[in-house]
Structure formats: structure tokens, C-alpha cells
Structure 1
Amino acid sequence: MTSELWLVRHGETAWSRTGKHTSTTDLPLTAEGEAVAKGLADRLARQEFDLVLTSPRLRARRTAELAGFPDAEVTDDLVEWDYGAYEGITTPQIRETVPGWTVWTHPSPGGETAAEVGERLDRVVARARSGGRTLVFGHGHALRVLTARWLGLPVSAGSHFRLDTSTVSVLGWERETPVMLRWNA
């Protein structure tokens, strides 16, 4: 088992800063988000990647570009969990009408199910496990699901993996067991 999967969550947007659920809304990075994303370039330049993928959303593509990967392959499999009717609102706002709501335990009306998100991120896992080192630029919930699926866990296990903006995480192997090598760095 020689494959590694490197994860980069996009830089800060106005909505990520305020906790608004952002999936299909194509927001730019804030000035701070751009500055921090540029800082990723030095860290990532020391690595060689066999495959570089990005979500098609502007915030992920821009982070990839600023981090030194303007030619990353765009794949819809890396888009953020579709929150449906909950797009652009915060968890506390949702909980005013749905007590205890989380994306991990409750549906998002008009959005994706956990099974649908897991299915598309399983395709990313399959590509990454084909060998070599893969780098992906994506989104908070989707990358947490990707991590759960890499580890052989259900989608809901992603709830245990906090992931901040502009961070680098690395998934790999210990012998034949998939593991986290670095998280939220």
C-alpha cells in the first residue's frame, strides 16, 4: 500500500467565516483566504504528486491556483455536500426549527443524502488508491466524508474530523490499514 491522499480545504470565504452552509453558492475567497492559500505553496512544493484534483467551485479552484496547482483536474466528485434548503444559513438557524440538526444525522431538504455524498467520494478514494500520491482541493464536509471513506468508516464518522480552512491533511497506510498520517495542519 503505497498511495497517499493529501487533502486541502479551500481558503476562507465570507460564509465559511460566519458558519453559513456553502455548497452550490460560488463564493470567492476573502483577502485573508487568499493570503493563507498562497502560504500553502511552499509546503506543497516540497512534494511530488501523481494526480491533483479540485472541486469545480471557485473557492477550491482559486485555492489550488494560489497553492501552485493551476492545472488541477476539475471533478464534480469533490463538490461540497449539497445542503439544499439549508444553503446560506447556519446550524443554529436550522436548529430553531429542527432541534439537534446536524448534516451527519438529519436530512437536508432538497439536498444530498449521506449515501449520495459517500458514493461520489468513494470514486475519489478509488482513484487515489490506484497508486502514488494524490492531492485534492475541496470543502469541509466533503473532505471529512472522504476521510471517513478512506478509513473504511461510514459517512457519519466524518463528524469526528474537524477541518479548518486552508489546512493540509494526509491519509495513508500503516501496513495494510488505512490511517491518518497528519490532520488539520
Structure 2
Amino acid sequence: MTELYLVRHGETAWSRSGQHTSVTDLDLTEHGVEEASRLRERLDPSDFGLVLTSPRLRARRTAELAGFEQPEVDENLAEWFYGDYEGMTSNQIREQVPGWRIWTHPIPGGETRTQVIDRLTKVVQRVQDSGVDRAICFSHGHASRVLALCWLGIDVARGQSFPLQTGAVCVLGYEKESPAIVRWNA
């Protein structure tokens, strides 16, 4: 059974400010470069039989700085498309839609929960069918949480219970035959 490592990209200006960033292709801040570079101390590229990354610069650059020179770009690892909420903070959105949460509310002009679940379930299936001992995915905060919830078979509305820091490593695996979180925000 494959163990799946999830790595959230290093800090960007918008992740620092809390702005929703999907298609806006930001680079890492200086701190984000440091976070990504420190991953070299914990991750050995030779340990992974499958290395995937989101197409976004921040994820690809994190992979590169972590020592993964040629990850395969997988469009399904892109961040949840925020549509009209791109660049806005949750507080700004809540001024228009009180109580808004990405996990439970619609996103005008953006992806639906079902679309995001379908996309990231394809990644889960790909990893589980790969036959490798370890796989690693460089992705984003919301997309990585959806991927983890798909791995576990948990309703995506529970995503709010799994905060994910920039530059964090999470490990999904199994407890006996049951999908499990082995490490979170390591």
C-alpha cells in the first residue's frame, strides 16, 4: 500500500495575507524560499517512486527547492478555483456573504465542491494504483486538504478541521487496511 506525502507550497505574499490564490501565479516570498529549502533536510527524492506537482509556480518552485528537480505536473493538483473570490480574504468575502466558508458555501464563477472532489479523487486513484511504496504531491492549502479527505473518505465539509501551514509535510497511509493520517503539518 502506497504512502502519500503531501507538501503545501512555501509562503507567498497572498498566503501570508490570507488572500485566496488559485490561478494567480505568484512566486514564493523570501520566507517561502527558506521553508521550501528546509524540506531538503527531511525529504530524499530517491525515496519516492511517483513525484507530482501542481502546475502553479509556487508549487513547482517548492518542489525544486526541496530537491525534486523534475516532478511531473498534474493539472488535478491545482488549487481550488476561487472564481470571483480570487485575491480576496475570507473576511472580505464574509462582508458580502456572512458566515461564508469555502467548505460549505458556493463560489461564484469558481469550482464547485463536486468538481474539486472529482479532480482530487483522480489523484488519489492514481497514487493508489501506482504500485510505488511512496508518492509525493506538491500542492496547495485547500487542494491538499480535499485530497486528504478524499483519501480518508471523509466529507469535504470537514476540511475546516485540517488547517495546513505553508511548507508543511503531511503523510497519508494506512492503519492496517484503513486509510489514515500518519502525520499532519510536520
TM-score of Structure 1 vs Structure 2, range by shorter chain: over 0.9
How far the C-alpha of 1:94 sits from its partner, in A, is 0.5
Give % identity: 60
AA aligned to 1:179 is A
Runs of 5+ unmatched residues, structure 1: none
State whether residues 171 and 180 of structure 1, in contact with CA within 8 Å, keep that contact through their aligned partners in structure 2.
yes
CA distance in 1, matches of 2:174, 2:66: 25
How far the C-alpha of 1:77 sits from its partner, in A, is 0.2
Match of 2:105 in 1: 106
> What's the Cα RMSD here?
1.0
CA distance in 2, matches of 1:80, 1:164: 15
AA aligned to 1:3 is T
Number of aligned positions between the proteins: 184
State whether residues 45 and 68 of structure 2, in contact with CA within 8 Å, keep that contact through their aligned partners in structure 1.
no
CA distance in 2, matches of 1:36, 1:105: 31
CA distance in 2, matches of 1:122, 1:81: 13
How far the C-alpha of 1:175 sits from its partner, in A, is 1.1
Match of 2:174 in 1: 173
Runs of 5+ unmatched residues, structure 2: none
Match of 1:92 in 2: 91
CA distance in 2, matches of 1:184, 1:69: 20
State whether residues 7 and 143 of structure 1, in contact with CA within 8 Å, keep that contact through their aligned partners in structure 2.
yes
Comparing 45-54 with 17-26, greater Cα deviation is found at 45-54
State whether residues 54 and 73 of structure 1, in contact with CA within 8 Å, keep that contact through their aligned partners in structure 2.
yes
Match of 1:70 in 2: 69
How far the C-alpha of 1:157 sits from its partner, in A, is 2.1
Instruction: Please identify runs of 4+ aligned residues in structure 1 that moved more than 4 A.
Output: none
- Superposed counterparts of 1:143-182, under 5 Å: 143-182=144-183
TM-score by length of 1: 0.97
How far the C-alpha of 1:36 sits from its partner, in A, is 1.3
CA distance in 1, matches of 2:50, 2:19: 31
